[in-house]
């Protein structure tokens, strides 16, 4: 949805008061809640690394742990971003015009 400035009529943009914190909180929550996912990733990595001996098991398990945490952090960050975007658009609703500097809400 395109929003025009109420003062000058140029394109106005939504101020991201909730989107950035939502992304950070979602990513942090995803990483901390990934214990089960990281453990499963570690097991899968160890199973794949078993073909390369004891060193492969260790490296595969660590790689699986990190990839599991990365996947959960990404999913949590995306969910937090979307939740923050909904809050910015539907609840806060403050816009800023970069042309004239006017800040307004709808």
- Chain position carrying tokens 């078993």: 50
**Structure tokens, 77:** 């960050």
The pLDDT score that the predictor gives to residue 98 is: 94
* pLDDT digits 0-9 by tens, 61-77: 788 778 888 888 899 99
Q: Is the pLDDT of residue 91 over 80?
A: yes
Q: Is the pLDDT of residue 94 over 70?
A: yes
**Residues in CB range of 95: below 8 A, 6 or more apart:** 3, 5, 12, 13, 14, 15, 103, 104, 105, 106
The pLDDT score that the predictor gives to residue 5 is: 93
* pLDDT digits 0-9 by tens, 5-42: 999 999 999 998 999 899 999 998 888 877 666 677 77
The pLDDT score that the predictor gives to residue 37 is: 65
The pLDDT score that the predictor gives to residue 36 is: 66
pTM above 0.95, yes or no: no
């Amino acid at each position: 949805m395109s929003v025009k400035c109420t003062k000058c009529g140029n394109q106005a943009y939504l101020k991201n008061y909730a989107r950035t914190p939502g992304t950070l909180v979602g990513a942090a929550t995803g990483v901390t809640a990934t214990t089960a996912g990281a453990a499963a990733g570690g097991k899968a990595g160890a199973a794949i690394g078993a073909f390369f001996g004891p060193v492969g098991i260790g490296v595969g398990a660590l790689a699986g742990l990190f990839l599991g945490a990365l996947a959960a952090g990404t999913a949590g960050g995306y969910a937090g971003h979307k939740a923050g975007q909904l809050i910015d658009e539907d609840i806060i609703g403050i816009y800023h015009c970069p042309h004239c500097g006017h800040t307004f809400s709808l």
